[in-house]
Amino acid sequence: MTTALLVSGVLQNLGIAAIAALFYDIVLRSCPTPGVRHTLVAFVFGAGAVGSMMLPVEVAPGIIFDLRNAFVILAMTFGGWLAVAVTTLAAFSYRLWLGGAGALPGGVGILMCASAGIAFALYFKGRRNGLFSFAMLGLFCAASLVSMFLLPFETAMGILKKVGPVMLVMNILGTMIVGGIVDRQKRQFERESVLSQEASTDSLTRLANRRAFDLRGPDLMETANQQGDACALMLIDIDHFKQINDAHGHDVGDKVLQHLAVLVRSNVRKTDLVARYGGEEIALVLPSHDAKRAFGLGERLRKAVAGTPYRHEGKLDITLSVSIGLYASDGSTESEAFTTAFKRADMALYRAKEAGRNRVEIALAA
């Protein structure tokens, strides 16, 4: 075994790491839900560890070196409990299956790295990782070489004297490189997610904004219609909102809007689209809501607003009421287009205001 051969093997393993990092990026960007994302990230790290062991460097008969421990020790940081469990189990099982004199030391080294990775992730949770952090993890990877002493002492010392320094450096560099690549991809994804969220979120109420509503609303209603499912569109408007602004100032008016947003959001499902459509108006798309169910929700929201005055600075109670207009589709293929449905809901809102406000009006599908 020569240093050049060991370095060559590490470079091949870095190719596996690069492929795993590419799949990690694909998973981040393509998975629709956190649950699916976590599952696939666990698979990527597990596959990376096993793939690394498929290109080992044999440093002595039955004793191999690869970058499996880099994936094991990083799994918790980038994939959580599921990732570290899957990666550790996959790496441990595959190393034992490969067998040889180094099977037991290799398995113990994997467990040591998994423990170190968990401790690191929990201790540094919420903090920004950098190359120094990954160098520390690399040192822990290298520390797992002490598992070699599960072999006869003379054998372990002979191997470590021969290739120990190179394995130490390669463990640190390998962990730094793999961690750096994956961390950069994760941070890029998070930055893009934040920008996307900000572009579709109303800064005052933290509800979806009009742009997001106009993009997602038609898709939600069209999907419901295609599935033969009911869907409702609701418009909520604060009664006499201009008088609140005139009497108490626009800063209080903003707080009232935030108060209303919290009340509405707390009374609907996470799957419902809730948006600040403009001024004091909130618009909702409610899949699986027929006319009866949507009207019941409208009444519940109306009563919740009327029964929950906004208290400003603990001393000023502002009684509120809302007018609500509804359009309800029965899910038939003849259901109206989204723009038409919105106009009908808007007309129903107008009727609610004309009829004295603090009421719900509904426009059934034609």
Q: How many CB atoms lie within 10 A of CB 127?
A: 8
**Mean of pLDDT values over 116-124:** 89
Residues 6+ apart with CB under 8 A from 262: none
Q: How far apart are CA 31 and CA 28, in angstroms?
A: 6
Cα 115–120–121 angle (5° rounding)? Answer: 100
Taking a C-beta distance cutoff of 8 angstroms, is the pair 336, 320 a contact? no
Q: Is 85 exposed, middle or buried (0-12, 13-18, 19+ CB in 10 A)?
A: middle
> Any idea which fold 3-199 has?
Arp2/3 complex 21 kDa subunit ARPC3 (1.10.1760)
Q: Is it true that domain 210-364 has CATH number 3.30.70.270?
A: yes
Q: How many CB atoms lie within 10 A of CB 3?
A: 13
3-state per-residue secondary structure call for 317-352? EECCCEEEEEEEECCCCCCCCHHHHHHHHHHHHHHH
Question: What's residue 4's pLDDT?
Answer: 67
Question: What's residue 65's pLDDT?
Answer: 81
Question: What's residue 366's pLDDT?
Answer: 54
Q: Is 315 exposed, middle or buried (0-12, 13-18, 19+ CB in 10 A)?
A: exposed
**Mean of pLDDT values over 186-206:** 81
Predicted confidence (pLDDT) at residue 343 exceeds the cutoff of 70: yes
Residue 281 in tokens: 């108006």
Q: Any idea where the domains of the chain sit in the sequence?
A: 3-199, 210-364
Average pLDDT, the chain: 87
Q: Is 93 exposed, middle or buried (0-12, 13-18, 19+ CB in 10 A)?
A: middle
Question: What's residue 299's pLDDT?
Answer: 95
Residue 43's identity, in one-letter code, is F
**Mean of pLDDT values over 314-338:** 81
Question: What's residue 2's pLDDT?
Answer: 57
Predicted confidence (pLDDT) at residue 297 exceeds the cutoff of 90: yes
Predicted confidence (pLDDT) at residue 57 exceeds the cutoff of 90: no
Question: What's residue 153's pLDDT?
Answer: 87
Better-scored residue on pLDDT, 35 or 14: 35
Predicted confidence (pLDDT) at residue 332 exceeds the cutoff of 70: no
Closest CA to 145 of 116, 105, 114, 94: 105
**Mean of pLDDT values over 201-206:** 88
pLDDT digits (tens, 9 = 90+) for 275-296: 999 888 999 999 999 999 999 9
**Mean of pLDDT values over 151-161:** 85
Residue 102 in tokens: 């180094």
Taking a C-beta distance cutoff of 8 angstroms, is the pair 15, 181 a contact? no
Q: How far apart are CA 15 and CA 341, in angstroms?
A: 54
Q: How far apart are CA 211 and CA 200, in angstroms?
A: 6
Q: pLDDT category, 232, cuts 50, 70, 90?
A: very high
Helix axes 68-98, 103-123, angle to 10 degrees: 150
